[in-house]
A = this chain, B = another copy of it.
Amino acid sequence: MHILGCGSALPTLKHNASSQIVEIRGKLFMIDCGEGTQIALRRSHIAFARLSTVFLSHLHGDHCLGMIGMISTFGLLGRTQPLRIFAPAEFEPMLRSQLEMFCHNLEYEVEFHAVDTTKQTVIYEDKSLTVETIPLEHRVPCCGYLFREKPSLPHIRREMIDFYQIPVSQINNIKNGADWTTSDGEIIANSRLVRPAEPPRSYAYCSDTRYMPTLHEIVKNVNVLYHESTYANDQLHNAEKYFHTTAEQAAMVARDAQVGQLFLGHYSARYENEEILLDEARKIFAESHLSDEKMVIDVK
């Protein structure tokens, strides 16, 4: 998970507008795309030709104004494979008129998929993962995204394969659970031939939202939770007024969901130093961390 931007509505010289890349088994997915994301992407040296899909949480400028510039740049760089965009339905007419004005010679397709932000649904699936919406409560329709890796096949125990002289042609069968019968008729149980794969991983992105006391049910046990923490406790009234979350509240979600790690982000521009957010979060949930631009988080 690559953090491209973890600031909030007011851009600063320290934090970019919201954007992240989720990288899994060689595939790239983007979540949110604020102004300047294409520059942050370039700075990150991520091989962005592999970016297939963008998920937008909601239609506030700091989460989506970078889309059209990025689409245009991909076109100039010769992209040919389609780019999928998942976003609230109201984004499509805006996107189409921008495409017409700024990208009329695009040589790849921009596929738009409207997202119902009010329901928890699987909206994307491939061989490696599923992506579900997480209904959030913000001033406009908004959802988070929950990435769940599919189970991997187990690892072959090379020494057992060699010992029983099992031919390469059988490896896939064994990975898929087959036992092995030797020429003597002895049956070698599959469990002796493989080591279990790492358990599948999960990552939840929740921004922007007010504190949702039941959110932990949806993000239960995820390995990593990114949860907006626009404010510290001193600004609780603003969190309530603007439908944002304090770091402490984000930590309460993480604690109640028993996640592996919590990453805070979407910081208000008022904090010169976000340590105050971290301190308040860690009092509730020890495995709290600050996001920062250029940070690469290994989800496990």
A residues at B contact (CB < 8 Å): 9-13, 35-36, 38-39, 42-43, 59-61, 65-66, 68-69, 72-73, 76-77, 90, 93-94, 97-98, 101-103
Residues of B with C-beta under 8 A to A61: 68-69, 72, 102-103
Q: What chain B residues lie within 8 Å of A10 (beta carbons)?
A: 73, 76-77
Contacts of A65 on B, CB cut-off 8 Å?
A: 65, 68-69, 102
- Residues of chain B within 8 A (CB-CB) of A38 are 11, 35
A36 to B70, CA, bound (A): 12
Q: Are B13 and A60 in contact (CB under 8 A)?
A: no
Instruction: Let me know if B36 and A76 touch, CB within 8 A.
Output: no
Note all chain B residues with C-beta closer than 8 A to A43: 13
Q: How far is the CB of A100 from chain B (nearest CB, A)?
A: 10
Cβ–Cβ contact A39 & B42, under 8 A: no
Instruction: Indicate if the CB atoms of A101 and B90 lie closer than 8 Å.
Output: yes
A90-B101, A97-B97 given; 9 more Cβ-contact pairs under 8 Å = A9-B76, A36-B36, A36-B39, A59-B101, A61-B69, A61-B102, A61-B103, A94-B98, A94-B101
Whole-angstrom distance between the Cβ of A247 and the nearest chain B Cβ = 21
- With a cutoff of 8 Å between Cβ atoms, the chain B residues found around residue A35 in the complex are 35-36, 38-39, 66, 69
A72 to B97, CA, bound (A): 20
A-B contact pairs, 15 of them (CB 8 A): A10-B76, A11-B73, A12-B42, A35-B35, A35-B69, A36-B39, A59-B101, A59-B102, A60-B102, A65-B69, A90-B101, A94-B97, A94-B98, A94-B101, A97-B97
Residues of B within 8 A of A97 (CB): 93-94, 97
Q: Which residue of B lies closest to A140 (CB)?
A: B101
Q: Of residues A10, A60, A90, which shows the largest number of chain B Cβ atoms within 10 Å of its Cβ?
A: A10
A93 to B100, CA, bound (A): 13
Nearest-CB distance from A58 to chain B (Å)?
A: 11
* Nearest B residue (CB) for A90: B101
Q: In the assembly, what is the distance between CA of A274 and CA of B80, in Å?
A: 30
The list of the 5 closest CB pairs from A to B, nearest first, reads: A35-B69, A61-B102, A36-B36, A61-B72, A65-B69
A102–B103 Cα gap in the complex (Å)? 21
